[in-house]
Chain A
Amino acid sequence: DAKTTQPPSMDCAEGRAANLPCNHSTISGNEYVYWYRQIHSQGPQYIIHGLKNNETNEMASLIITEDRKSSTLILPHATLRDTAVYYCIVRGVRNDYKLSFGAGTTVTVRA
């Protein structure tokens, strides 16, 4: 599966949108982009995933560039409870479902 690159940390203001970038320049055509987050001392929480098209759910929006080499996770109205480590993971469509976690981005939402 393709590797991803994320900034190590970012701050954002409560109530504002948080835009989390992820580079995956070696992604191949059948690989999905997944986002998870991990709040301190808890298991990771699934946020969203996509292949080519932009996706939106109740938690976030995922914007994937046309060349699929990068993506942005958008938390539309960040709250203090969104403070967590956010992981961008690229996964192929093989049947093994494995996820490879990198260092992620530590997002701190400030009041």
Chain B
Amino acid sequence: GAVVSQHPSRVICKSGTSVKIECRSLDFQATTMFWYRQFPKQSLMLMATSNEGSKATYEQGVEKDKFLINHASLTLSTLTVTSAHPEDSSFYICSAVLASRNEQFFGPGTRLTVL
């Protein structure tokens, strides 16, 4: 149990286009999900907190108009990278909170490459 999926696993896009990444909790409901970004040989950096039914909370330095987050249901959060640039190329990872077990479960990540 407690599986989190992400789609797509890899995406390559042209500079200036928008890319949507989905994060789903497959066998549990998650009021809270998180989005992280990880550059090569670095640790995970929290980008934002996604709360079902309310606006996302962004960490300092993360542009909310560039990284649009929608958490429309208890099992789905989406991250849209708008007007992507090569410097947005990174590994994007989501997680979902299983509150009953006080644990956070991570998705497998999405590798974004912007040409």
Contact = CB atoms under 8 A, between A and B. Distances in A.
Grouping DSSP codes into helix (H, G, I), strand (E, B) and loop, the A interface class, with mixed when no group exceeds half, is: loop
Nearest to A36: B106
A104 B49 CA distance: 22
Interface string B71-98: 0000000000000000000010101010
A45 B97 contact: no
A46 B104 contact: yes
Interface residues of A, number: 20
A96 B109 contact: no
Interface residues of B, number: 24
A42 B44 contact: no
A98 B46 contact: yes
A26 B43 CA distance: 22
Interface in A76-106: 87, 96-104
A53 B105 CA distance: 23
A14 B109 CA distance: 28
Interface in A25-68: 32, 36, 38, 41-46, 49
Interface in B1-30: 4, 6
A101 B97 contact: no
B68 to A, nearest CB: 20
Contact of B93 (A43, A46, A100): A43
Contacts of B67: none
A43 B104 contact: no
A44 B105 CA distance: 8
B65 interface: no
A87 B6 CA distance: 22
A100 B97 CA distance: 15
Given A97-B34, A101-B45, 7 more contacts: A44-B44, A44-B95, A45-B106, A46-B106, A97-B32, A99-B46, A99-B104
